[in-house]
């Protein structure tokens, strides 16, 4: 076979030939053999072993030193309105109720200009305007790069979620978190490397949002329903309801003795050894994972800082996870598409922001005070934004109300902070009404390319050979927006 082709893939987590040459697995390990021997101390005690195969999740170096080591992606799923949050357009209030000279088709019928019911004011040294909805977040505005010129491809939730998460609107492709853990591994082998949290169920498009697609299963996001507070409901099989820890230890000791006798009769076999070690890791994972999700271990002033409710809890969990070395954490606001304010926008956006503003604001400050912000990339945004014009009622929908906004993929806002992002800046702009990206447009592919760059990857070179070609997150697209990088 063509070895050159394989070696072209940058940053492969495991080069098959190298693996096999080192450990003598022989035919037993097909293609991409993955074994977990990441734990240094364990690996050392087994020095008689021919060679440990690197774990698929062991920490790996990117193409060049990355600024961001962790990512927290806060997903305002459903699509938050840019003109009500981070992209002030006072002209809409002046023209409120009048037709705009813009003819852009969105999902549903829309009408006249709809001025934002929310007040904006300037924050920080950079003086960037933010609406009252995110007044807590805005206190960290000097850390944030506000991208006002985001755009996507279509005004529908499903393809836009797929595009934002996986770089392709329709076809099953690995998610951003999967690519990140594929490229970088993770720093804590006792926790999943990629965690997707959503309280109360799945977002639209469900677990495809954190799919590994053709990458190995270890790179799939682990879904956690943060509605729950008990650890056994958060992570499958993390607790044993039959045995105490001591009883389980005794059981494992027996198992490992039997396994050792079995292995001795068979000579060196890294695959047998890896499986022996995986039980030790699992044993420790039980307590470590429980700790990570237990926010009652936080001092009261920290819990007060994040506030009450499920958003506060999941933001705080996100910080605890990142602190423990988890590579990629994604948080959805809730099941379905909570930010999808087709009607009663004022009430709904106020409620939604009320649920998360304090918590996100606290997360930024907390990361900063712990020195984690500089290496943690925080991303906020929806799969698209909303129209600056009002949505007209549809039979059987929006209860005949005319006080919401439709989906808008032509222009919307996302912000990033920390992890090497140049804060205190507004990048790009929408047109005068906030409808379409007009100045320095940033496509979702460009955002992905930039995130990859911050993580230390050339987005064109982090690839995986599949179905006859090398695939990458940005497919054949994507330009790094260097202005966003400090």
Residues 101-120 that bind other proteins (CB under 8 A): 109, 111-112
Backbone φ, ψ for residue 408 (5° rounding): -145, 110
Residues in 26-55 at the binding interface with other proteins, rule: CB under 8 A: 26-36
At a CB cut-off of 8 Å and minimum separation 6, what does 363 contact?
72, 306, 315, 316, 318, 319, 378
Does residue 482 bind other proteins (CB under 8 A)?
Answer: no
Pick from 56, 62, 419, 428 the residue near other proteins by CB under 8 A. Answer: 56
Does residue 201 bind other proteins (CB under 8 A)?
Answer: no
8 A C-beta contact, residue 152 and residue 142: no
Q: Which two tokens stand for residue 475?
A: 């497919």
Q: Which residues, listed in sequence order, are joined to residue 408 by a DSSP beta bridge?
A: 385
Residue closer to other proteins by CB (options 199, 424) is 199
Does residue 65 bind other proteins (CB under 8 A)?
Answer: no
Question: Which region among 178-186, 380-388, 390-398, 423-431 touches other proteins (by CB under 8 A)?
Answer: 390-398
At a CB cut-off of 8 Å and minimum separation 6, what does 25 contact?
19, 33, 53, 269, 270, 271
Residue closer to other proteins by CB (options 36, 176) is 36
Pick from 7, 45, 240, 369 the residue near other proteins by CB under 8 A. Answer: 240
Residues in 128-167 at the binding interface with other proteins, rule: CB under 8 A: 151, 158-159
- Compute the distance between CA of residue 342 and CA of residue 391 in angstroms, rounded to an integer: 7
- Compute the distance between CA of residue 383 and CA of residue 151 in angstroms, rounded to an integer: 9
Q: Helices 345-369 and 309-323: crossing angle, nearest 10°?
A: 30
Question: Which region among 41-49, 120-128, 236-244, 370-378 touches other proteins (by CB under 8 A)?
Answer: 236-244
Radius of gyration of the chain from its Cα atoms, rounded to whole angstroms: 24
Minimum separation from the CB atom of position 62 to other proteins (A): 21
Pick from 8, 282, 347, 486 the residue near other proteins by CB under 8 A. Answer: 282
Pick from 99, 304, 369, 370 the residue near other proteins by CB under 8 A. Answer: 99
At a CB cut-off of 8 Å and minimum separation 6, what does 31 contact?
16
Residue closer to other proteins by CB (options 281, 485) is 281
Pick from 7, 249, 258, 308 the residue near other proteins by CB under 8 A. Answer: 258
Minimum separation from the CB atom of position 26 to other proteins (A): 3
């Amino acid at each position: 076979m063509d070895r050159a082709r394989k070696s072209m893939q940058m940053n492969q987590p495991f080069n098959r030939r190298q693996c096999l040459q080192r450990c003598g697995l022989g035919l037993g390990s097909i293609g991409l053999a993955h074994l977990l021997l990441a734990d240094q101390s364990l690996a050392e005690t087994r020095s008689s072993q021919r060679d440990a195969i690197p774990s698929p999740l062991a920490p790996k170096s990117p193409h060049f030193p990355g600024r961001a080591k962790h990512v927290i992606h806060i997903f305002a799923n459903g699509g938050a309105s840019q003109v009500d949050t981070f992209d002030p357009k006072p002209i809409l209030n002046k023209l409120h109720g009048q037709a705009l000279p813009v003819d852009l088709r969105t999902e549903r019928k829309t009408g006249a200009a709809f001025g934002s019911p929310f007040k904006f004011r300037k924050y920080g040294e950079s003086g960037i305007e933010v609406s009252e909805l995110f007044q807590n977040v805005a206190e960290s505005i000097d850390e944030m790069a506000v991208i006002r010129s985001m755009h996507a491809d279509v005004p529908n939730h499903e393809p836009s979620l797929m595009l934002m998460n996986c770089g392709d609107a329709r076809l099953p492709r690995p998610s951003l978190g999967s690519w990140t853990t594929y490229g970088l591994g993770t720093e804590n082998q006792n926790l999943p490397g990629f965690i997707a949290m959503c309280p109360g169920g799945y977002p639209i498009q469900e677990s495809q949002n954190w799919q590994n697609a053709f990458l190995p299963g270890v790179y799939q996001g682990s879904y956690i329903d943060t509605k729950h507070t008990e650890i056994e409901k958060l992570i499958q099989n993390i607790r044993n309801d039959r045995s105490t820890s001591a009883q389980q230890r005794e059981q494992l000791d027996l198992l490992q003795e039997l396994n050792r006798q079995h292995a001795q009769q068979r000579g060196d076999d890294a695959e047998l050894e890896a499986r022996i070690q995986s039980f030790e890791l699992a044993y420790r994972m039980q307590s470590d994972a429980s700790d990570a999700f237990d926010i009652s271990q936080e001092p009261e002033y920290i819990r007060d800082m994040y506030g009450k409710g499920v958003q506060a809890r999941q933001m705080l969990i996100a910080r605890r996870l990142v602190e423990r070395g988890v590579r990629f954490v994604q948080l959805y606001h809730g099941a379905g598409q909570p930010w999808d304010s087709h009607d009663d926008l004022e009430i709904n956006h106020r409620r939604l922001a009320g649920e998360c503003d304090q918590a996100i604001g606290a997360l930024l400050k907390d990361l900063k005070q712990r020195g984690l912000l500089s290496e943690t990339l925080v991303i906020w945004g929806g799969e698209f934004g909303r129209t600056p014009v009002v949505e007209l009622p549809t039979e059987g929908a929006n209860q005949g109300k005319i006080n919401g906004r439709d989906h808008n993929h032509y222009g919307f806002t996302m912000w990033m902070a920390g992890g090497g992002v140049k804060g205190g800046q507004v990048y790009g702009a929408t047109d005068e009404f906030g409808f379409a990206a007009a100045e320095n447009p940033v496509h979702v592919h460009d955002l992905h390319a930039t995130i990859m760059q911050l993580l230390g990857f050339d987005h064109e070179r982090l690839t995986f050979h599949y179905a006859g070609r090398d695939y990458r997150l940005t497919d054949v697209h994507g330009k790094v927006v260097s202005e966003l990088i400090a």
